[in-house]
Amino acid sequence: MSVIGVDVGGTKIAAARLGPGFGVEQAVRMPTPPGGSTVVEAIAGAVEQVSDGATDPVTAVGVGLPATIDAATGIVGASNHTGMDGLDARGLLQQRLGLPVVVDNDANVAALAEHRLGAARGHADVVLLTLGTGIGGGLIVGGQVFRGGRGQGAELGHVVVKGDGPPCQGNCPNHGCIETMCSGTSLGRDLRDYAQANPGTALGRLEAEGRLDSRTGLELARAGDQDAIRVFTTAGEWLGVAVASLTNVFDPDVVVIGGGLSAAGDLILGPARREYQRRALPPTRRAPLVVAQMGNDAGMVGAGILAAEAPG
């Protein structure tokens, strides 16, 4: 028997059929469509693609969504990046696929994967931040995923670190959330702001060519461009502010940083570690700040684990 795990992000959907030990046997990736019910249909299509040719029957499907989820009903609460607000994601997918479906927040399932198989393996209490288009947060408390009273807790990306900071994305009414200070979206904004104020720099030239974003900015920073490094350093420092606050609250065994921006490595994590150590209370600053190990498979594998462990 096998399960399917689906990871839905603001820009892509990734699905995998998982075999024994939750190894990926077949996977597919596709762009995330505009939103709402079209995302549900795309998820179903991805599940069908990875089901084709399976020698073992698929018993359940797990889906991680970039959204708050009512754990009891499977209904999407707020989704800043997919326009699925209010949709009965679990019910619609079960009807469409004819299989049991479990739906959870994408960072929750990534935390589950890292806890069972990755960088947090063997630890009972874990904080996970995923740095991507936005910032997701996952908590493992006493070896179990923490979801709050209605299944919509652990929105760590919306912890405020700068009260008069930029407005947050989507439906979040706040300013200066972690998401607005060190996500891929905010990093792209800061790179462009710097480039427009300094048109004679390499960043400025990329902006003039219409090619500046977080990816090309990272390439410049890796090549040693001091202006790009400065922008990444500032983002890392804000991440460190957030990590210090989270460790003071949760006293975790380990803090795991995942998502696409974790590929920036010490360009972000170096200043994050310094700021974290400077600000956290002495007992809590012992928790190491580490890079996630599951990479791009974390969401799919975590969703598959969720499906496999769901009550029958």
Q: What is the pLDDT of residues 276-291, one digit of tens each?
A: 999 999 999 999 999 9
Q: Is the same domain home to 240 and 163?
A: yes
Q: Is the same domain home to 99 and 207?
A: no
Which tokens hold the place of 249?
């609250």
Cα dihedral 48, 50, 54, 56 in deg (nearest 10): -90
Q: Is the same domain home to 52 and 161?
A: no
**Any residues with CB less than 8 A from the CB of 191 and at least 6 apart, and which?**
203, 207, 212, 213, 214, 217, 228, 231
| Tens digit of each residue's pLDDT (9 = 90 or more) over 133-176 | 889 899 999 999 999 888 788 999 999 999 999 999 877 899 99
pLDDT at 296: 87
Going by pLDDT thresholds of 50, 70 and 90, the confidence category of residue 311 is: confident
Q: Is the same domain home to 285 and 248?
A: yes
- Residue 117 inside a domain? The answer is no
Where do we find the tokens 């084709």? 52
Q: Is the same domain home to 100 and 150?
A: no
Lowest mean pLDDT among 125-134, 145-154, 197-206, 271-280: 145-154
CATH number at residue 86: 3.30.420.40
The amino acid at 47: V
Q: Is the same domain home to 282 and 301?
A: no
Q: Is the same domain home to 33 and 154?
A: no
Q: Is the same domain home to 72 and 182?
A: no
- Residue 262 inside a domain? The answer is yes
- Residue 118 inside a domain? The answer is no
Domain that holds residue 282: 123-292
Count helices and strands in the chain by DSSP H and E runs = 10, 10
- Residue 9 inside a domain? The answer is yes
Q: Is the same domain home to 105 and 133?
A: no
Question: What mean pLDDT value characterizes the chain?
Answer: 94
Q: How many CB atoms lie within 10 A of CB 1?
A: 11
For residue 128, CA distances in Å to 108, 113, 139 come to 9, 11, 6
- Residue 116 inside a domain? The answer is no
Task: Answer yes or no: is pLDDT of 1 > 80.
Answer: no
For the full predicted model, state whether its pTM sits above 0.85: yes
Domain count, the chain: 2
The amino acid at 150: R
pLDDT at 312: 66
For residue 93, CA distances in Å to 13, 43, 211, 214 come to 15, 8, 38, 34
Between CA 307 and CA 310 the distance in angstroms is 5
Residue 137: closest CA among 6, 285, 280, 250: 250
Q: Which residues pair with residue 138 across a beta bridge?
A: 128
Q: Is the same domain home to 200 and 242?
A: yes
Q: Is the same domain home to 106 and 228?
A: no
Between CA 209 and CA 307 the distance in angstroms is 46
Q: Is the same domain home to 200 and 265?
A: yes
